[in-house]
């Protein structure tokens, strides 16, 4: 792949990874039913499967028809409760429980999997949530071997994903109790955003981010690790990683930028941010910073965008920052060289509006490496 070509959408895309597996309990995670035996124990190999998925950065939850308190008490007694985030234990429909889990985590249904021993329960979930992947209880031992549960790389962020999501729940709970404005709440988090040039070590985190996020991915284009590594030392490209921390702890890598630099034009080939930081306005902050950097460098700023049924919020961020479909007056021929079907090139026609100062931004000066020559792409 040439260094100035974006990654592919099809047919080389890996299978869509599962972000969260939702477990039924009775006769799925453990043998028997809790109502009949308060000393139920997990099936053989279940702990190994749960630990293996957790180590790969796949979140896990519970959706069980049981009374909450004795069920959670049994999970605690088994030393398993800490594995599960945002559990749904009660007597409602399984599809509603799975839907609430997805909403609380901020995941699309297509990122959720559900495992249950009862065909009727799986059918009910599949009917109301057709994008959720459903598995039989007897398939549990095979999950670690399935490609949808097997990310190609396991990053530092992946290994601590459960911890980061638990911190996210605490943030949400605190926001519920907070009585001031949204901007005041964001200031209270003491957030620090760092934008930096990607290193070899960070590239796997970047590739993972382009695979996992859909709501805040400007093009849906996947950049494999090899393509990104080829761009690191290319003078015409900037590969940038955004991280975020606050008083609850690190959010990990939350944004990736791929910028193609021409003498008179910068072209934003990819902007993707984690769905976890939508409420913090991460995409808008990154765009505002890029607009400012382009103005300082005296260049036009273009941005690739491919509309999907999931990334409407990213489109709003681009429009709010001043991009539209008007022709670029730059004359560098950069618009003609599109490599991905369906990608339109937006032109910055107005400067971004100032964002609320709700965090401290630490970022490089991109004007230091201005390109003085080079072909379009």
Is position 109 within any domain?
Answer: yes
Asked which of 110, 132, 149 is the last residue of a domain, the reply is: 149
Residue 10: the pLDDT is: 37
Q: Are 212 and 14 in contact (CB under 8 A)?
A: no
Q: How far is it, in rounded angstroms, from Cα 116 to Cα 131?
A: 16
Nearest to 361 by CA among 252, 288, 257: 288
Q: State whether 200 and 272 are in the same domain.
A: yes
Reported as a pLDDT band with limits 50, 70 and 90, residue 9 is: very low
Is position 133 within any domain?
Answer: yes
**For residue 70, what are its two tokens?**
């004795």
- Going from the C-alpha of 140 to that of each of 47, 48, 87, 145, 258, the distances in angstroms are 11, 10, 19, 10, 39
Is position 377 within any domain?
Answer: no
Domain count, the chain: 2
Reported as a pLDDT band with limits 50, 70 and 90, residue 213 is: low
Q: Kind of pairing, strands 112-116 and 20-23?
A: parallel
Is position 233 within any domain?
Answer: yes
Q: How far is it, in rounded angstroms, from Cα 128 to Cα 202?
A: 39
For CA atoms 247, 175, 81, 23, give the dihedral sign.
Answer: negative
Question: Can you give the CATH number for the domain in which 228 is found?
Answer: 3.40.630.30
Q: State whether 142 and 184 are in the same domain.
A: no
How do residues 142-201 score in pLDDT, each as one tens digit?
999 999 999 877 877 888 889 888 888 889 889 999 999 999 999 999 999 999 998 877
The number of beta carbons lying within 10 Å of the beta carbon of residue 173 is 10
Nearest to 366 by CA among 274, 268, 272, 253: 268
Comparing 217 with 99, the larger pLDDT belongs to 99
Q: Are 339 and 274 in contact (CB under 8 A)?
A: no
Is position 8 within any domain?
Answer: no
CA 116 to chain centre: 26
Q: State whether 132 and 186 are in the same domain.
A: no
**For residue 224, what are its two tokens?**
């494999």
Q: State whether 242 and 303 are in the same domain.
A: yes
Using the structure block, give the residue that is written with the tokens 């997990």. Answer: 42
Residue 6: the pLDDT is: 39
Residue 357: the pLDDT is: 78
Is position 126 within any domain?
Answer: yes
Residue 223: the pLDDT is: 75
Beta bridge partners of 265: 300
User: Among 5-14, 31-40, 232-241, where is mean pLDDT lowest?
Assistant: 5-14
Is position 219 within any domain?
Answer: yes
Comparing 280 with 215, the larger pLDDT belongs to 280
Q: State whether 122 and 34 are in the same domain.
A: yes
Is residue 4 pLDDT above 60, yes or no? no
Residue 12: the pLDDT is: 42
Reported as a pLDDT band with limits 50, 70 and 90, residue 352 is: low
The mean per-residue pLDDT over the stretch 324-351 comes to 69
Reported as a pLDDT band with limits 50, 70 and 90, residue 92 is: very high
Domain residues for the domain of 59 are 20-149
Reported as a pLDDT band with limits 50, 70 and 90, residue 239 is: very high
Q: State whether 119 and 258 are in the same domain.
A: no
């Amino acid at each position: 792949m040439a260094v100035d070509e974006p990654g592919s959408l099809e047919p080389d895309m890996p299978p869509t990874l599962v972000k969260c597996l939702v477990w039924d309990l009775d006769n799925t995670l453990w043998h028997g039913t809790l109502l009949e035996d308060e000393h139920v124990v997990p099936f053989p190999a279940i702990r190994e499967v749960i630990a293996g998925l957790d180590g790969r950065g796949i979140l896990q939850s519970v959706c069980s028809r049981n009374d909450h308190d004795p069920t959670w008490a049994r999970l605690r007694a088994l030393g398993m409760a800490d594995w599960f985030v945002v559990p749904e234990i009660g007597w409602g429909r399984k599809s509603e429980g799975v839907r609430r889990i997805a909403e609380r985590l901020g995941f699309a249904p297509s990122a959720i999997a559900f495992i249950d021993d009862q065909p009727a329960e799986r059918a009910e979930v599949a009917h109301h949530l057709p994008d959720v992947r459903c598995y039989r209880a007897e398939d549990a031992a095979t999950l670690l071997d399935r490609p949808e549960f097997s990310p190609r790389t396991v990053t530092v962020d992946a290994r601590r994903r459960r911890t980061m999501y638990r911190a996210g729940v605490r943030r949400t709970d605190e926001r519920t109790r907070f009585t001031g404005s949204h901007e005041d709440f964001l200031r209270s988090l003491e957030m620090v955003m760092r934008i930096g040039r990607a290193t070899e070590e960070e590239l796997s985190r970047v590739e993972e981010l382009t695979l996992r996020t859909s709501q805040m991915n400007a093009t849906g284009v996947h950049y494999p690790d090899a393509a990104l590594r080829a761009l690191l030392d290319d003078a015409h490209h900037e590969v940038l990683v955004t991280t975020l921390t606050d008083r609850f702890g690190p959010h990990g890598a939350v944004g990736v930028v791929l910028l193609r630099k021409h003498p008179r034009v910068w072209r934003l080939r990819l902007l993707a941010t984690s769905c976890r930081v939508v409420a913090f306005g991460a995409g808008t902050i990154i765009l505002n910073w890029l607009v400012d950097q382009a103005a300082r460098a005296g260049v036009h700023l273009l941005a690739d965008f491919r509309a999907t049924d999931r990334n409407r919020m990213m489109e709003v961020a681009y429009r709010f920052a001043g991009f539209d479909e008007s022709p670029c007056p730059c004359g560098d021929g950069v618009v003609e060289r599109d490599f991905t079907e369906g990608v339109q090139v937006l032109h910055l026609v107005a400067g971004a509006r100032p964002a609320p100062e709700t965090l401290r931004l630490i970022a490089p000066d991109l004007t230091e490496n201005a390109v003085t020559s080079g072909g379009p792409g």
